[in-house]
Amino acid sequence: NTQILLDNRPVGEATVGNFKAVTTDTPALQDGQVLVRHHFLSLDPYMRGRMNDSKSYAASQPLGEVMIGGTAGEVVESRHPKYQPGDLVVGMGGWQQYSVVNAADPGALRKVDTTHVPLSHHLGAVGMPGVTAWYGLVKIIEPKAGETMVVSAASGAVGSAFGALAKARGCRVVGIAGGPDKCRYLTDELGFDAAIDHRAHPDLKSMSQALKAACPNGIDGYFENVGGHILDAVLLRANAFARIAVCGMIAGYDGAPLPLQNPALILVNRMKVQGFIVSEHMEVWPEALKELGTLVGTGKLRPRESVAQGIESAPEAFLGLLKGKNFGKQLVKLI
């Protein structure tokens, strides 16, 4: 069982030198445990926060332990009556080829149905990132048909699901992404009404002008994934009583925190700004997964994936995710 451990903490930007690969035997199963062979490992931005020992929205990860992470795979051995070899499951198996799971622990494993939704999408659009988009849109932004929604990191796992969910509610949806290919994907394949390339608009003035052009009726809801000058520009273009779901601030994860230039605009626009963490809202998962499964199953949401091959590629692929090298949900395929 090859595993990737967190070996030392980053000073400034994370590097491949922060990780270490080791190979061990999987332990014999105790009663109530199952052995899962991972087919896919999910790489997610929150993992960067876990690498630090300072406060983050994800708890710090101890050194010398397997990197935490979502996994999709197959039960190969079971000493729990609910699971049989061959069952397809999603769990938090971490950056390794196999995991031994206490199957009775709440939320440890979830059986998934791959009839209409391929296994890998259960880590993306029909998994944690999809539910994240659903929660921010439905429970925080509370959109009305005809309103304008903006989302940053729009071509990614969370952003693309947000677009489909907002379109299904009759909104105008504008996505912000890095580069012309990602922007074309938003409008041509995901059905966004407009796309803005943040690389072509690298400062507040230019981003604010681009938002003005793409959002002629102003902005009613913003799903924040990035922070920095994009958030500043959205505040300038927000309508009275606009809502912001603060989901992530990835522009600041791998370096210095990002200052907000003009927080008084929250008052001027009488805005609601609310952060959230999807794992604290397990009560919405069944409803959200049902809607997301239908959107994917009916082809209304066609999520893209960036798939790295083999467990050893995980560190490099993860660092790429922090720099926008991924295009869609970043996965590692293990078999």
Binding positions for ligand NDP, rule: CB under 6 A: 44-46, 129, 132, 153, 155-159, 177-178, 182, 198, 225-226, 247-248, 250-251, 276-278, 321, 324, 326, 329-330
CA–CA dist 256, 127 (Å, integer): 30
CB of 14 to ligand NDP, least distance (A): 13
CB of 196 to ligand NDP, least distance (A): 10
Q: Which residues pair with 174 in a beta bridge?
A: 150, 194
Nearer to ligand NDP, 44 or 291 (CB): 44
CB of 257 to ligand NDP, least distance (A): 13
Nearer to ligand NDP, 31 or 283 (CB): 283
3-state secondary structure of 135: helix
CB of 163 to ligand NDP, least distance (A): 12
Nearer to ligand NDP, 78 or 132 (CB): 132
Nearer to ligand NDP, 34 or 140 (CB): 140
3-state secondary structure of 284: helix
Nearer to ligand NDP, 32 or 179 (CB): 179
Angle CA 220–222–225, to nearest 5: 180
CA–CA dist 252, 271 (Å, integer): 23
Check if the beta carbon of residue 126 is closer than 8 Å to that of residue 40: no
Nearer to ligand NDP, 46 or 83 (CB): 46
CB of 241 to ligand NDP, least distance (A): 23
Residues whose CB is less than 8 angstroms from the CB of residue 78 and which lie 6 or more positions away in sequence, other chains included: 29, 34, 35, 84, 85, 87, 103
CB of 49 to ligand NDP, least distance (A): 8
Q: Which residues pair with 332 in a beta bridge?
A: 41, 308
CA–CA dist 296, 288 (Å, integer): 12
CB of 3 to ligand NDP, least distance (A): 22
- Tell me the backbone φ, ψ of residue 174, rounded to 5 degrees: -120, 130
**How many other β-carbons are positioned within 10 Å of the β-carbon of residue 262?**
11
Nearer to ligand NDP, 80 or 329 (CB): 329
Buried b (16+ CB within 10 A) or exposed e, 75-91: bebbebeebeeebbbbb
